[in-house]
Structures are given as C-alpha cells and as structure tokens.
C-alpha cells in the first residue's frame, strides 16, 4: 500500500513539474524559477512522458548548456554558477537514461569527474568553505551518479569520505563536527570553542537540507547491494542511527521525498532493520502527503532559516526533488516485496 501511494504521488508531482517547466520554456523570458527545474527534468525522464522529457532535455541544452557537461543559467549569480554540480549531474544522468549520447561526450564526463576532490568527496565549491551537511549531500549524490556511470572506484572513494565524516564526530550526541584541511587532504575533528570555523550541525536544529541526509542512506544502501563485502554496512547503519536521532527535527520538514527514498533503500539493503525503519518511513510519507497540493506540486519552503540563509526553495525545486525521492522509494519498496515473496 505504501509503495503504491509513493508511486502515485511521484507521478502526480512529475506531471506538475513537466507542465510547469513547459510553461516556463514557452515564455519569451522565462522566470528565474526555471533554474530550479533540473530535478524535474530528471523526474520526467525517469517516469514521465517520453515526448515531454525529450522536449525538456532539448530546452535544457539550448537554455543552460554553456560547455559540454556544464549547465548554467546565463543570468544567474556567480555564486550559484559556481555551485552547479548537482544541476549538471542531474541533466547528464537524465541524458544517460534517455539515451542521449549527444550530451555524453568525453568532455562532459571529464567535467563531471572534475568535481571529485582528492579526498573522494564531490564538492561544488571549495571544500574548506563548505558545510558538513551540504558536503555529505553532494558527495552522496556524486557517488550515486558514479555508480550509474559504472565508475565504481570513484563511488567507493565517495563512500569512504562519508564514512569518515560519520566516524570522526567527537560529540556522542551525533553532531557533524569537523573541518576540512586542504593541505593534508583530510577531515580533522575540532572542538567548537577551539575552532570557531568548524563545520557544525546540531541534530536538534532544523536545517533546510537536513532531509537530504536520506541521500547518504540511499547511496550507501546501493553500494552495499552492489558490493556486499565492501564494508559499507557499518556506515549505512551509522547513518541510520543519525536519521533516527534526528527523527523529531526531520519530521517537521515539509519536503521529505529524498529521506523516504533513503529509508526505503536502507530497509531493502538491511532486511534486519526494516521493521526498525518502518515508523520513520511512514512518518515521512505522512509529512509528504500533508504538503502535496491538489495540483500535485509541493509547497515552497525555507524552514524558517532566517535572514542569514541566502537561498529559499521554490515549489519547482521542492517538487522535482520530492518526485525523484518518491519514485525511488516506490521502486525500493516494490523490490523489497519481491524479495520477501
């Protein structure tokens, strides 16, 4: 039943994203919100209308592609242009799934690989300036892309960094608490009173990207399924523990599709923990249901991050990400049922 609901909600969200993207694309001067539509393009290719997804990919090339494998809005701020890894990865993955060999040139692949730092992490900005949670999300996303393009060694390097980020937390309550030293190419633990610049995230505080920790679950679960002897079960269980400690904070967020997918994949990869994860998966699904509008979209949100947070989340972005997460959750739940049968 839950898998069917996830699939239906994902299809409705994808249909809305397709309609919104087409409406923007047909305007003489599309609004800046179109730049948040990359996840919707991938959702369309994953489960939407074939002709529509082909049109959207063609539009993405005309509107966004400034060099092979690099997609920018021409008028977007420089800071956003420097942080385009997820957008480029989404669109290249969409091209791969759609069989668009014209977008997957050697230069495009090299561009995508260039985002991986020698530490193993996929960073879309200077890793010494990043935020622990954002670095976990982009690294996990890059690792999943690497798996899909069969760059298994690249994926393992990304997973190793995620494991280090998990194990190097000195705070027993589970805070992400570290700095990245570019000179030694390593994560270094720091106590906050001694190192004010330490990247710090308290599980008791709601942050806009908190739900994206589900991406770490999804990536480690996929890697464990692909390489059961690779030692990825331990960090997967560790991130499950982080999710469970953050449960109250997470469930206050209105966009939980990525978390739902991670929980479902983790339950599939680690059958013994499926029963333990079920309450969180149900809670996430209820949170999703509460914010999906009658049109199928999800309300824009910024989670009360305050004036110091310079980026909100549009309905287009929220809907695209949630559609992808729900689709993955439905597939994982269906696969889990098949295995159990």
Mean pLDDT in the chain?
80
The whole-angstrom separation of Cα 5 and Cα 277 is: 18
> Mind listing the pLDDT tens digit for each residue in 146-179?
999 999 999 999 999 999 888 776 565 656 655 6
> What does the pLDDT read at residue 142?
94
DSSP 278-311: HHHHHHHHHHHHHHB-TTS-B--B-TT--TT---
pLDDT in tens, 13-59: 999 999 989 988 888 777 766 777 889 999 999 999 999 999 999 98
With 60 as the cut, is the pLDDT of residue 331 above it? yes
SS3 207: coil
Tell me if residue 128 falls in helix, strand or coil: helix
More confident residue, 337 or 64: 64
Is pLDDT of 301 > 60? no
Which pTM does this prediction carry?
0.86
Q: Write phi, then psi, for 213 (nearest 5 degrees).
A: -60, -20
- Kindly indicate the confidence band of residue 204, based on its pLDDT and cuts at 50, 70 and 90: low
Tens digit of pLDDT for each residue in 260-282?
999 999 988 987 777 778 888 88
pLDDT at residue 156, as a whole number: 97
Helix (H, G, I), strand (E, B) or coil at 233: helix
Q: Name the pLDDT band for 92 (thresholds 50, 70, 90).
A: very high
Residue 190 pLDDT greater than 60, yes or no: no
More confident residue, 318 or 171: 318
Q: Is the pLDDT of residue 309 over 60?
A: no
Q: What percent of the chain has pLDDT over 70?
A: 74
């Amino acid at each position: 039943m839950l898998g069917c609901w996830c699939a239906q909600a994902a299809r409705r969200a994808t249909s809305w994203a397709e309609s919104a993207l087409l409406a923007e694309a047909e305007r003489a001067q599309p609004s800046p919100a179109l730049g948040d539509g990359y996840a919707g393009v991938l959702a369309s290719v994953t489960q939407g209308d074939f002709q529509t997804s082909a049109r959207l990919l063609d539009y993405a090339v005309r509107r966004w592609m400034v060099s092979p494998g690099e997609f920018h809005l021409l008028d977007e701020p420089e800071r956003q242009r420097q942080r385009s890894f997820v957008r480029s990865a989404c669109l290249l993955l969409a091209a791969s799934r759609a069989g668009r060999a014209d977008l997957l040139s050697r230069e495009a692949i090299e561009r995508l690989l260039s985002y991986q730092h020698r530490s193993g992490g996929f960073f879309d900005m200077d890793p010494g300036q990043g935020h622990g949670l954002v670095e976990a999300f982009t690294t996990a996303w890059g690792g999943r892309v690497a798996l899909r393009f069969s760059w298994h060694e690249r994926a393992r390097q990304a997973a190793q960094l995620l494991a280090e980020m998990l194990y190097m937390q000195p705070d027993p309550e589970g805070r992400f608490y570290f700095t990245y030293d570019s000179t030694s190419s390593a994560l270094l633990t720091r106590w906050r009173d001694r190192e004010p610049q330490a990247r710090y995230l308290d599980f008791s505080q709601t942050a806009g990207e908190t739900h994206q920790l589900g991406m770490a679950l999804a990536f480690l679960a996929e890697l464990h399924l692909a390489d059961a002897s690779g030692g990825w079960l331990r960090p997967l269980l560790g991130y499950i523990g982080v999710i469970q400690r953050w449960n109250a904070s997470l469930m206050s967020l209105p966009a939980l599709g990525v978390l739902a997918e991670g929980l479902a994949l983790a339950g599939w990869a680690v059958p013994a923990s499926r029963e333990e994860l079920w309450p969180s998966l149900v809670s996430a699904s209820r949170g999703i249901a509460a914010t999906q509008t009658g049109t199928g979209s999800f309300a824009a949100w910024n989670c009360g991050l305050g004036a110091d947070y310079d980026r909100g989340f549009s309905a287009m972005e929220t809907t695209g990400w949630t559609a992808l997460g729900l689709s993955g959750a439905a597939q994982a739940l269906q696969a889990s049922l098949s295995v159990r049968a």
